[in-house]
Chain A
């Protein structure tokens, strides 16, 4: 090409279009991959905690439920990661299960604390349950 200015402009226009497209496509892929990974891990840990609550002895059940609750707090540190409504609901239910375990173990004060934490978690998920509602769940779950 005899006119280097024209050649430079053609490449520059190409770059102007290409850079945002490449950046956007990679961001979409990476965010999708991360979201899928987070969903898988949430589901894996949550199912494990429920199964341990249903099948294991009280100590192991407690360990699994608390492990899941602590894990959900770490999720907030994930880039783009945040506790979504499903995770917050699962955390709320885990606190309800912990409350029930403590009630059965004769620790009413700790049970009450877990009910309060469950209430907070459900509230963050957009569900406002009264203490009485949750206490009914504690005895029925």
Chain B
């Protein structure tokens, strides 16, 4: 009798495990179908732009937070900012919408200003100067009226405070 109960319990647990897996897959199938329908309606450009913007926002918040709480050190900050630049460069290849391309230019410029400020803080004036030059070019492409070093620093410092978690 005891053996029977034990075996029934084990089979029930097996059933639950199979059920959870099946239910999970069923739900995943439903969401995948919804997503395909959404992609058909809005088109691949919007889907690509959506993905790129989501990635950039997450990286932007992460960078701003790390820069506000500098426990991880310069090397980690540099790596994180480089990740933003890589994501922006990759995004530029996937996007055709001119407005989203401008958004990527702006994000690139912001990351480059942050790198310039970082290099300056650790005593690398030549690297800081090079990054600032790139940032100014990116912001000019984005149509900014004032691309002076002082102004870009002020805007990005403000963003660092606002975007930090």
Mutual binders A and B: yes
Q: Which A residues contact B (CB, under 8 angstroms)? A: 1, 3, 6-7, 10-27, 30, 37, 40-41, 43-45, 48, 51-52, 55-57, 59-61, 63-64, 66-67, 74, 77-80
B20-40 near A? 1/0 per residue, CB < 8 Å: 111111111001001101100
Given A19-B23, A57-B143, A67-B99, 8 more pairs with CB closer than 8 A: A1-B4, A6-B4, A10-B9, A15-B22, A18-B22, A41-B53, A51-B106, A56-B143
**8 interchain pairs, CB-CB under 8 A:** A13-B15, A14-B11, A15-B18, A16-B15, A23-B23, A55-B146, A55-B155, A67-B97
| Chain A contact surface mostly | helix
Which chain B residues lie closer than 8 Å to A74 at the CB level? 42, 46
A-B contact count (CB 8 A): 156
Give min CB distance, B147 to chain A, whole Å.
9
Tell me whether A18 and B17 are in contact (CB under 8 A): yes
Q: Which B residues contact A (CB, under 8 angstroms)? A: 4, 7-9, 11-28, 31, 34-35, 37-38, 41-42, 46, 50, 53-54, 56-58, 60, 97-100, 102-103, 106, 139, 142-146, 155
Which chain A residues lie closer than 8 Å to B41 at the CB level? 77
Give min CB distance, B120 to chain A, whole Å.
22
Which chain B residues lie closer than 8 Å to A19 at the CB level? 19-20, 22-23, 26
Tell me whether A56 and B142 are in contact (CB under 8 A): yes
Which chain B residues lie closer than 8 Å to A6 at the CB level? 4, 8
Which chain A residues lie closer than 8 Å to B142 at the CB level? 52, 56, 60
Tell me whether A40 and B58 are in contact (CB under 8 A): yes
Tell me whether A44 and B23 are in contact (CB under 8 A): no
Give the nearest-CB partner of B60 in chain A: A44
Q: With A40-B54, A79-B38 as known contacts, state yes or no: A7 contacts B19, CB within 8 Å.
A: no
Which chain B residues lie closer than 8 Å to A41 at the CB level? 50, 53-54, 57
Tell me whether A21 and B23 are in contact (CB under 8 A): yes
CA distance A6 to B3 in the complex (A): 13
